[in-house]
Amino acid sequence: MIEFDPRTLNNPRALRNAFGTYMTGVTVVTAHDDAGNPLGFTANSFASVSLEPPLVLVCLANTSGNYATFANTKKFAINILSEAQIEVSNTFARPVEDRFATVDWQQGPNGSPILNDVSAWFDCNMFNTVDAGDHLILIGEVKAFDNNIAPGLGYARGAYVTPAAEAKALSKRSGMVVSALIERDGKILLQDDGVGGLTIPLTDDVSDGASAALTRLISNSGITAEPGFIYSVYQDGARKHQHISFLCQAADGEPANGVFTELSETTLMDIADPAICTMLERFAAESHMGNFGVYYGNEVSGEVKPLTTGS
C-alpha cells in the first residue's frame, strides 16, 4: 500500500514541486482591453480540449492584474512560444508597464494580438469561463490558427526546457566541463575539490558526450538521481572551456561521495571556483521561489532568464 502523509496537502511548495514534474509548453495569452490596447500574460497551463468544435483552454490566476479584462473579453489568442523566445516569456511574466513595446506582433484574423515567430498560434472567441479555485479557466473556440517547424519552448520543475538548443550544446565534446547540480530538499551535493575546498560533481572527461559524462557523475556519487535540464552554460575564458551544469533531482539515500549541504554564506565561502560559487548563490536565491532560469555567458558575466507564469 502506498503511504501518504495528509499533512503534505498543506505544504504549497511540495504540491507545486509535484505539479512541476509535468513538462509543459510556454504560451503568451493575448487580448485587447476596452480601449483597444493589447495586453497579455505568460502561462504554461495550456491544453487542447476538443476538435469538434475546436476548443482550447488556459488558466489565469485570480490575483492577476489582467483578470478583469480576460474574464470579460469576447476574444483572445494563445501564442505558443518557440525556443528562441525565452525573453518574450520573461517580458510577459514580469510587471512590465508596456509588454508589447519590445515584441513584434500583428493583428490576428479574428482580431487578437499574434506574436511574431511563435511555434503556433490560436485566435479564439471566448467559449466559456470556469471558476476553479484560485484560477479562472478560459476556454476558447479556435477561429484561426497556424504553426511552423520552430521547436517549442518547454517548462518543467521550475526551469526552461530547450531540447534543440541543449542537443546542440551536447554535441560539442571538446573543451567542455560537465557538472551536476544535484538537489534534494533545497540542499546541494557538495564534494571535496582536492585542494581543501568544496565543489559540485564535475568532470572534463566528455569523450563519449555530455549525457554520458553526467550519468557517470551521478553514478560515482553513489545516489539515485534523475539527469535533469541544463541550468547554466558559460564559457570559462581563464580555463579555456565551456561549462555546462545540469540541475538534477536526487532520491532518498546517503551519497558515497559528498554531503547534501545547505547553501549558507559560510558554505559558499568554501567554494574555491568563483564561477561555481556564483552559480550556487543564484540557486540558493531561486530555490526559495521555486522558479529557476538558465544562465548564459562566461565565468564573469552573463544573463539569467527566470520564469514566473500565469501573471
**Mind spelling out the 3-state secondary structure of 263-306?**
CCHHHHCCECCHHHHHHHHHHHHHHCCCCCCEEEEECCCEEEEC
How much is the mean pLDDT over the chain? 83
User: Average pLDDT in the 275-296 region?
Assistant: 68
pLDDT at 198 exceeding the cut of 90: yes
For residue 158, pLDDT beyond 70: no
Higher pLDDT, 133 or 125: 125
Cell of 259: 554531503
219 contact partners, CB below 8 Å, separation of at least 6: none
Tracing cell 571556483 back to the chain, one arrives at 273
The answer on pLDDT for 13 being more than 80 is no
- Half-sphere exposure for 249 (CA within 13 Å, toward CB): 12
For residue 231, pLDDT beyond 80: yes
Mean pLDDT of 267-274: 90
Higher-pLDDT residue of 164 and 35 is: 35
CA distance 262 to 247: 16
Q: What's the angle, vertex CA 151, arms to CA 150 and CA 154, rounded to 5?
A: 140
* pLDDT number for residue 175: 73
Residue 103 confidence class, pLDDT cut points 50, 70, 90: very high
Q: What is the pLDDT of residue 159?
A: 64
DSSP letter assigned to residue 175: T
Tally Cβ neighbours within 10 Å of residue 244. Answer: 23
φ and ψ at 213, to 5 degrees? -65, -40
CATH class of the domain defined by 22-156: mainly beta
Q: What are the start-end ranges of the H helices in 150-299?
A: 163-170, 210-221, 265-268, 274-287
Residue 74 corresponds to which amino acid?
A: K
Mean of the pLDDT values across residues 104-115?
Answer: 96
Say yes or no to pLDDT of 94 above 80: yes
pLDDT at residue 227 tops 70: yes
**Better-predicted residue by pLDDT, 184 or 307:** 184
The more confidently predicted of residues 6 and 75 is 75
pLDDT exceeds cutoff 80 at 130: yes
pLDDT (0 to 100) of residue 285: 78
Query: Please, which pLDDT band fits residue 164 given cuts at 50, 70 and 90?
Result: low
Q: Are the beta carbons of 271 and 283 closer than 8 angstroms?
A: no
What is the pLDDT, as a whole number, of residue 165?
59
22: DSSP letter: S
Higher pLDDT, 186 or 163: 186
- Across 58-66, average pLDDT: 89
CA distances from 134 to 60, 77, 123, 187, 241 (A): 9, 22, 25, 30, 47
Domain spanning 164-305: CATH 3.30.70.20: no
Maximum Cα interatomic distance, the chain, rounded to a whole number of Å: 66
State pTM to two decimals: 0.58
Domain segments of the chain as ranges: 22-156, 164-305
Of the two residues 14 and 93, the one the predictor is more confident about is 93
Please, which pLDDT band fits residue 297 given cuts at 50, 70 and 90? very low
Run of H or E residues at 89: helix 86-93
Contacts of 122 (CB under 8 A, 6+ apart): 56, 77, 78, 140, 142, 144, 145
With a CB cutoff of 8 Å and minimum separation 6, the contacts of 114 are: 30, 77, 79, 105, 106, 107, 108, 121, 123
Share of the chain above pLDDT 90, in %: 42
